[in-house]
Structures are given as structure tokens and as C-alpha cells.
A and B are shown apart, each in its own frame.
Chain A
């Protein structure tokens, strides 16, 4: 049984803010931003964060994979919603992964994901490495334009790998190109020219050399060079210095998505795994207080064709957004009048959340072992009026099921961060139904019979206590869906 990368998945939020909108809104103040105005950047919907994106990327990677086989979860991000609550614990529960699994949050560096991947590869066993970033930048900053939100996931373990690790090298130095502290909301960055010359150009090429040497591969054999960089065109300079062909430099997806921070090296790796031919070498570099270099060889093993969207599929699942004001509101960069209806107390009793975690976080319902009726939520007494058996239900997972809209509305009365609030009765094809919030949908496209898939999202923010609660929502299922 060979060891390596067994599966790969991605998630890029559906909304793509047109960079023109950012440039136009800020032209009065920062006309120089116009040079960054091409293309679009991925932005989270109001109900997405690093945890929800990690769940989606994880689901995308785990298509057709036995989740019970996963022994370890690594979740990398510098934008975790929680500082003291295992963010990976939420992801694990939403993915209904085994409780016997261990989980680690890996934080504090733009290379958190490559470091986590390298540890997982060294540790052996079966791991899910997931990285997600919900990026936050000041209005009218360059990074508001160049960054994007997104996530990627890699499954490592023994089996039939899609890629094998050929070599790896690391270094750790306290090179501070930018920083963000527990007290500061935004990055503070030093001069780009210094970061390029004293940072990337000084630190990265020797690590690449060590990595290639360990793998006994020449730089010319690298077909895909995946390195996110906060400084434009520095990747090409690094490639040249390391002897890698310019044509091997992978598309950083700047035009279509933006730089997804700590998730981006993994996202680029997923994109490369989708493109690479068997035998091709993929070099991944994560940079931040030193660097990680990982060299892989793509095998002939195919990625799952059905149900997986991957990086390419998620880039294609897009909706153009032109409202900069909406983006500012979603990122909480502007204080908008939310009205008195938004003042309702959103306290989550943690004891009740724990008791109901299978229902709320896992979306696990019940199947009656007497009459076979599938129902959500699971309850003590069967919902079938001709059965009503007591304590007859076994767990039945709903999160991966496709449902259809039975009735719907677009509600302008109830408070929603993105009105109108769309919701309706979702009827699952195998049985069961629930009145659910919809997300990633436009009111005018709603119709009875529309196919919907479940997505893990923020249900409510509790500004009084800084908490947020999660639940599943229904989103239109793409043609490729049957995804789990």
C-alpha cells in the first residue's frame, strides 16, 4: 500500500466581487489602486467563515472516501473564528468524523497549511489537512484587492495515492514581512521591495535546492511550481533563481479568486493536482517566517469524477457581485443600520448545543427501524402517523442528501444580513423534510421542485457575547451534485 496524497478538494465562495467596484469606490482616496483593478476576488457570503469553508473543502476532498478511516485532522488558518475553542473540532463534527480522531488547529503563519501538510506526511497514518482563510483587509488597501476567501483540503494516507511525496525541506527564521497581533484587526506590512529581496529571494531558493536534492530531482523536472506570494511577479524571480522553467510557474489565480492567505498554497496544490499529468512533478512552497518546500509526483490515479467540484469546479461556480457596499457590510467594515429587528438576543445555551450536537452540527436525523420513515430531527417517537413507535430511530445523516423545494418565500420582514431572507420547506428525496434557510441563492430563481444541497453555514451571530452558531442551509445543487 503506497503512501501519499489520497484525495484533494477545494472550496471557493460563490460570490466574486468585481475589483473594478473596489477601485471605483476608492478612486477619490487611492487612485493608485487602479493598477490592481483587473478581474474578481472571491468573497464570503455573510454566513461563511474559515470554519464553514473548511467544512466544504473537506467534503469536496472526502467524496467517495471513508471518513471513519481518518485518524487526524489538521486545520490551518490565520483567521479562525475562535481563539479558544478547537476550530477543527467544529469541522470534525460537521463532517461527522469519528470521535476517536485527534485534531489540531495550526495558526499564526501564511505557511500554516504547508507546515501542517508536511507534518501529516511525516507522521504517517491517515490525515485530513484542511486550510481556510476568511481574509480581512482595511478598505482602500492593496490587500483588499489582491486577497480572496477560500479553502482547500488534502487527504494523506496509505492506499492508491494521486500523488507521492518525493522530498521536503523547511526553514524557520523570524522574518517579519507583516504581522497581525491579538489586539490588531489588520496586517501591518513592510516595504515590498525589501520583502522581495531580503525575504523571498534570500530565503526560498536555498530551501527549494535542499528539497530537490533530497528528492534527487532537478529543477528542470518541476512541471508545476505552486508558490503564493504577496509581492507581484516574485514567483517568477524565485523560479529563475532556483532553475525552474518560467512555464512551470503555476497560475496564482489572482484574476479569478485572489490570494487566500494561509490556504492559498494548498489551493494551488489542488489546482495543480487537477491539471498535472501522471509522472509530472509539483513543487509547493509556503512562505512565512521561513518556508516549507514539498515536492510531489502525480500518479496515474484519477480524482473522483462524480460529485467533486475541486478547484476548477468551484471557480466555475460563481456569481458576480458588483456592490462594494455589500462587501463592506459582509466583512463588518462598515456600520449599517440593521434595524430594531436585528436586536433579538441570539444567546446559544452551550449545554443545549452539546446535547443536540448531532442534530445541529452534524445534521443527523433519524430512520425508524420499525416503519423505515426517515425524519429530521430524530425524536423519541416516530413522526409517521401510522407508526409512532417509541425509541425506534437509528441515526440517519442528512448533510449529504439532496432535497427539493416544496414551498418557499423571499422574506423582507424578518431581519437578515442579506435581505430578502429566502427559506422554505425542503423535502429530501429519500424521505424527511425541514423548513430551512436558503443560502447562495437569488430570490428570483426560486421555484417549487428546485434541487438543493446542504451547506454548513453561520446561522446567527451573537454580538453581545461574540459567539456565532452554525447550522445547515439549503443551496441550489449544481448539475454535478450528488455530492456528499
Chain B
């Protein structure tokens, strides 16, 4: 395994717009909102940025193709700007581009910005869209909830779990995320909900009800990264650095080969193992302080906690119901509300997760701040569907710790 990027790159500043139904904003407005906060935090000027990465996934709904929309919105001075797209993991991909640029020495300071303006669709949920020429002919008539819901049937069959027990654990996950988002002014959905409301909600895709699904939101988030040395030179004393950044992409095995049973994320298990190795984490359940996973659906969060090796296989239901992942639990999960309630502007989500870890590690998370500032924060950003996806994992922590 390569040496990796552990502690080679520091986060100089981060920003995040308010997520939600931003009827008054174009994507460019959201870009500027996140960027302004990030640059204030970084304490630098635009001309100091050497290169930038833009993440958007459903660009046909808002900015269109290429990196030009970012360069134009921010009037970037004709620097290299690249647009990346990797399903819902696009935000972490932009971060990876910027981090690798700094780690390689190609850039001193780099920007990663993710944005999505989804609420010009005209209806709820993600836009119905084509999947590619041949895929349109042979893929099922799918939606994201319909495919993620299938984790439930396969997980139940594998572990012999009743629908009611699974639904209760899934409901606990959603209730917890709503609780957490109530303490987050930037979150999209800040209302508290009850177990009964979740369990009796209208069905979206069996067994996922309305409250098992994350919000569809407008928003943007960004990170400005540099080397720890430059961060110090710019006056930063309290530095958060990147400990690991891993990506695993399905190669058709899950979709075509019968070795995958449909109850877990093959990519997540691989990316998590590599990330722990890169970060030097040996016992994740003991060493990871805080986690933000890609909770597009409650059941995704549930099985992901096992795939990240935080809960034992088949043990996530017990951990969830025991409050292990609650805000006051051992490893809070989605302390900012997660995709479920902070919202899911696709291109921004990966960066939003890192933003929360960054705030928590620096003790700047306001009323949702963990009492003991976390040592290692992990984010898990997934794109695609259980049977073919891209999984991006980042671990960040205090530099030199």
C-alpha cells in the first residue's frame, strides 16, 4: 500500500451555505455563500488559490457542464478549475482533487467546492432522469429509494430479522437525526419527530417510508486546503489535517456476480479498511470519535455502520437501539443531522460532512458541540446504488496528533 496522504494536507478554511429549499437562490448564489464563509475562515484572498475543483452531479438542473460556472461565480483568475462528478460522492471527489494537488506540490492552496440546486425540478425527490443509452434499455425502472430499500430485504433474509425489528431501528435512526438537526441552524429539516410518525408514514419504496428518506435540498459547501507548513505560516495554530482519503468504485461485481448477497456495501468495506490503514487506525470502534455517514436512507446508515467496522456484522440494530450512535452516545453519527435533516444537495454533501468534522474537532460546533473535542472524525460519502456505487471515505483529525 502506498504511503498515503496522512498529515500531508491541512484544512485552511471551510464554508457551508444554509441548506434547504432556497427558492431565492441560483446555484451561483449558493456557491458564493459557502465560499465567502470558507475564505473568511481561511483568511486568504481569491488570488492566493492555485487550483480549484467543482462538484455537481445533476448539473443539467442548474449550472450545466464544465468548471466554468465555478470560475465565473467566483471570478477565479484564470486558474486551473476542474469539474468532477461521481454520483452523490462528488463532493468528496472535489476534496480529493484539491487535497491531492496540495499533497503533490502542484498547488500551495487549493479549493474544493460542491453545489447542487435541486429545487427547480418541479416535484419532490430527486429528478427522474436517463441513465445512459444501453442502461435505459436494460436497467429496471428504478429510483434511489427503490434500490436502497432492497438492502432491507437482503439484510433481513441474511440475519433472520423481522420487518418490525428492522423498521424500529430504522425509525430510531431518523428520530435521532431530526433531534440533532434541531440544534443546527444551517440544517434543512429542524423539526423533531416521533417514532410513531416514522413508523406510520406513507410508504415510498417498501419498506422505506417518507421519514426513512433524506431531504432533497439546495446548498453548497467548500474547503480550502494547503500544506500544514503554509497553514502555520498563514498564522494557523489549531490545525485539522487529512488522515485518510479513500475511494472504492464498483466494477460490476455486485451487479453481475453472485458472490455479493445484497445486504451490505462491498465498496464501503474495502474503502474503510484502506482508510483505517492510511490513517493508522487499528480499532475503529475505539479510535473513531465521530462519524457522518451517507444516510440517504435510514437503512443505508444502518448497514454502513457495520461496513465501516464500527458495529459488528449483524449488530448495528442493537447498537442503534442502545443509543451508541446518538448525540450523547459513544460514537455520535450524524451529529449535524446528516443527509436526512441537514439535507442532501448532492455535490455539496461530502464537503458538508467534512465541514462538521472540522467544526467539531476545532470545538466550533455551537450547541451541538461534543464536550470532549473529537480526535478523529470520519465521513462516508456514497454515490450510486447498493449494487453499483462509488464510496468515498475521509478521516480528518488534529494535525500532529
Q: Could you list which residues of chain A lie within 8 angstroms of chain B, going by C-beta atoms?
A: 339-341, 343-346, 348-349, 352-353, 356, 359-360, 373, 375-377, 379, 383-385, 406-416, 420-421, 423-425, 427, 431-437, 443, 448-449, 459-460, 469, 471
Extra A-B contacts (19), CB below 8 Å, given A408-B150, A421-B141: A341-B123, A341-B128, A353-B137, A356-B134, A376-B256, A406-B261, A407-B150, A409-B149, A411-B206, A414-B141, A414-B142, A420-B205, A425-B262, A427-B258, A434-B255, A436-B140, A437-B141, A448-B153, A460-B136
5 A-B pairs with least C-beta separation: A411-B146, A407-B150, A414-B143, A423-B140, A409-B149
Closest beta carbon of chain B to A268's beta carbon, Å: 36
With contact pairs A339-B123, A471-B137 given, residues A409 and B146 touching in the complex (Cβ less than 8 Å): yes
With contact pairs A340-B122, A383-B256, A406-B261 given, residues A424 and B150 touching in the complex (Cβ less than 8 Å): yes
- Tell me which residues across on chain B come within 8 A of A356, comparing CB atoms: 134, 137-138
Closest to B134 in A: A356
Closest to B263 in A: A407
Q: Is the interface of A mostly helix, strand, loop or mixed?
A: mixed
- Tell me which residues across on chain B come within 8 A of A408, comparing CB atoms: 150, 153
Find out whether the CB atom of A412 lies under 8 angstroms from the CB atom of B262: no
Our count of residue pairs bridging A and B at CB distance below 8 angstroms stands at 146
Complex-state Cα separation, A156 to B153, whole angstroms: 47
Find out whether the CB atom of A344 lies under 8 angstroms from the CB atom of B128: yes
Closest to B202 in A: A412
Complex-state Cα separation, A416 to B146, whole angstroms: 12
Other-chain residue from A343, A346, A421, A432 in contact with B146 (beta carbon distance below 8 A): A421
Closest beta carbon of chain B to A54's beta carbon, Å: 20
Other-chain residue from B128, B202, B206 in contact with A410 (beta carbon distance below 8 A): B206
Find out whether the CB atom of B141 lies under 8 angstroms from the CB atom of A433: no
Closest beta carbon of chain A to B57's beta carbon, Å: 17
Closest beta carbon of chain B to A243's beta carbon, Å: 56
Find out whether the CB atom of B252 lies under 8 angstroms from the CB atom of A383: yes
Interface presence of B372 (CB below 8 A): no
Find out whether the CB atom of B255 lies under 8 angstroms from the CB atom of A435: yes
Other-chain residue from A352, A420, A431 in contact with B206 (beta carbon distance below 8 A): A420
Tally chain B residues at the interface, Cβ within 8 Å.
45
Interface presence of B288 (CB below 8 A): no
Complex-state Cα separation, A252 to B137, whole angstroms: 39
Find out whether the CB atom of A413 lies under 8 angstroms from the CB atom of B137: no
Find out whether the CB atom of B257 lies under 8 angstroms from the CB atom of A433: yes
- Tell me which residues across on chain B come within 8 A of A471, comparing CB atoms: 137-138
Q: Could you list which residues of chain B lie within 8 angstroms of chain A, going by C-beta atoms?
A: 121-123, 125, 128-130, 133-134, 136-143, 145-147, 149-151, 153-154, 156-157, 202-206, 208, 251-253, 255-259, 261-263, 387
Other-chain residue from A345, A352, A424, A460 in contact with B153 (beta carbon distance below 8 A): A424
Complex-state Cα separation, A64 to B139, whole angstroms: 30
Closest to A444 in B: B206
- Tell me which residues across on chain A come within 8 A of B139, comparing CB atoms: 435
With contact pairs A383-B253, A433-B257, A435-B147 given, residues A415 and B128 touching in the complex (Cβ less than 8 Å): yes
Find out whether the CB atom of B257 lies under 8 angstroms from the CB atom of A385: yes
| 7 contacts across the A-B interface (CB closer than 8 A) | A340-B123, A375-B257, A408-B153, A411-B206, A420-B206, A435-B387, A448-B153
Other-chain residue from B133, B141, B154, B203 in contact with A448 (beta carbon distance below 8 A): B154
Closest beta carbon of chain B to A109's beta carbon, Å: 34
- Tell me which residues across on chain A come within 8 A of B149, comparing CB atoms: 409, 411
- Tell me which residues across on chain A come within 8 A of B204, comparing CB atoms: 411-413
Closest to B385 in A: A435
Complex-state Cα separation, A263 to B149, whole angstroms: 42
- Tell me which residues across on chain A come within 8 A of B134, comparing CB atoms: 352, 356, 359-360
Closest beta carbon of chain A to B151's beta carbon, Å: 7
Find out whether the CB atom of A413 lies under 8 angstroms from the CB atom of B140: no
Closest beta carbon of chain A to B380's beta carbon, Å: 21
Complex-state Cα separation, A354 to B106, whole angstroms: 47
Find out whether the CB atom of B154 lies under 8 angstroms from the CB atom of A349: no
Complex-state Cα separation, A414 to B144, whole angstroms: 9
Closest beta carbon of chain B to A420's beta carbon, Å: 7
Find out whether the CB atom of A344 lies under 8 angstroms from the CB atom of B130: yes
Closest to B149 in A: A409
Closest beta carbon of chain A to B75's beta carbon, Å: 35
With contact pairs A344-B130, A348-B137, A413-B205 given, residues A379 and B123 touching in the complex (Cβ less than 8 Å): no
Complex-state Cα separation, A448 to B143, whole angstroms: 20
Find out whether the CB atom of A407 lies under 8 angstroms from the CB atom of B153: yes
Closest to A436 in B: B140
Complex-state Cα separation, A148 to B134, whole angstroms: 35
Other-chain residue from B140, B150, B251, B256 in contact with A433 (beta carbon distance below 8 A): B256
Complex-state Cα separation, A345 to B139, whole angstroms: 15
Closest beta carbon of chain B to A377's beta carbon, Å: 7
Closest beta carbon of chain B to A262's beta carbon, Å: 30
Complex-state Cα separation, A349 to B141, whole angstroms: 18
Complex-state Cα separation, A427 to B256, whole angstroms: 9
Find out whether the CB atom of B154 lies under 8 angstroms from the CB atom of A432: no
Closest beta carbon of chain B to A416's beta carbon, Å: 6
Find out whether the CB atom of B145 lies under 8 angstroms from the CB atom of A411: yes
With contact pairs A423-B141, A424-B153 given, residues A383 and B257 touching in the complex (Cβ less than 8 Å): yes
- Tell me which residues across on chain A come within 8 A of B145, comparing CB atoms: 409, 411, 413
Closest beta carbon of chain A to B277's beta carbon, Å: 20
Complex-state Cα separation, A482 to B140, whole angstroms: 24
Other-chain residue from B130, B143, B146, B147 in contact with A345 (beta carbon distance below 8 A): B130
- Tell me which residues across on chain B come within 8 A of A346, comparing CB atoms: 136
- Tell me which residues across on chain B come within 8 A of A469, comparing CB atoms: 137
Closest to A474 in B: B140
Find out whether the CB atom of B154 lies under 8 angstroms from the CB atom of A406: yes
Closest beta carbon of chain B to A443's beta carbon, Å: 6
Find out whether the CB atom of B257 lies under 8 angstroms from the CB atom of A373: yes
Complex-state Cα separation, A448 to B252, whole angstroms: 22
Closest beta carbon of chain B to A251's beta carbon, Å: 39
Closest to A415 in B: B128
Complex-state Cα separation, A341 to B142, whole angstroms: 12
Complex-state Cα separation, A427 to B254, whole angstroms: 11
- Tell me which residues across on chain B come within 8 A of A413, comparing CB atoms: 125, 143, 145-146, 204-205
- Tell me which residues across on chain A come within 8 A of B203, comparing CB atoms: 410, 412, 420
- Tell me which residues across on chain A come within 8 A of B141, comparing CB atoms: 411, 414-416, 421, 423, 437, 459-460
From B140, B255, B258, B387, residue with most partner A Cβ within 10 Å: B140
Complex-state Cα separation, A383 to B250, whole angstroms: 11
